[in-house]
Amino acid sequence: MARSRVIGAARLQRALLKLPDDARRELRAAIAGGAAQVAAAAAARAPARTGALKGAIETRLAKSGLGATIGVFKRSKKTHVARFLEFGTVKMAARPWFFPAFRALRARLRGQIEAAARRALKRGGH
């Protein structure tokens, strides 16, 4: 799982939680959409020997809706290899599928989320 850190996140989160519901919905939609884009890109890059890994990639939104986690949460005999494929083992070279997708989209998603946050903060009078 990857995490992207926002400088001043605690202050931003406090301000965002004070926003009107419609402004928070807009920001949540931007975060959910970005997470879905990363999940789709990761699935497209995932090795497809059985296809189980591609189908197991999920996104989970934080309760606040202001964050998301993307990964393989349900382990099975066919999906437990996700981390081994990503990072490799002493006997197998890494075949990264998640981090390349995340890195390829990170700047664009950051821009989309920042734009949504600016619109939400502007609408909320902050």
Identify the DSSP state of 2: -
Rounded-to-integer distance, Cα 85 and Cα 94, Å: 5
Q: How far is CA 39 from the centre of its chain?
A: 7
Residue 2 lies in a domain: no
Tens digits of residue pLDDT in 44-70: 998 877 678 888 899 998 887 778 889
Its domain, for residue 89, covers: 9-124
Tens digits of residue pLDDT in 80-95: 888 888 999 999 999 9
Residue 89 lies in a domain: yes
How confident is the prediction for the chain on average, in pLDDT?
83
Residue 86 lies in a domain: yes
Q: What is the DSSP string of 30-72?
A: HHHHHHHHHHHHHHHHS--SSSHHHHHEEEEE-TTSS-EEEEE
Residue 61 lies in a domain: yes
Residue 1 lies in a domain: no
Rounded-to-integer distance, Cα 39 and Cα 35, Å: 6
Residue 3 lies in a domain: no
Does residue 104 surpass a pLDDT of 90? yes
- Span 94-120, mean pLDDT? 88
Question: Residue 96 — pLDDT band, cuts 50, 70, 90?
Answer: very high
Residue 36 lies in a domain: yes
Place of tokens 């502007």: 122
Question: Residue 119 — pLDDT band, cuts 50, 70, 90?
Answer: confident
Residue 113 lies in a domain: yes
| pTM score of the predicted model | 0.77
The total number of structural domains in the chain stands at: 1
Rounded-to-integer distance, Cα 78 and Cα 36, Å: 22
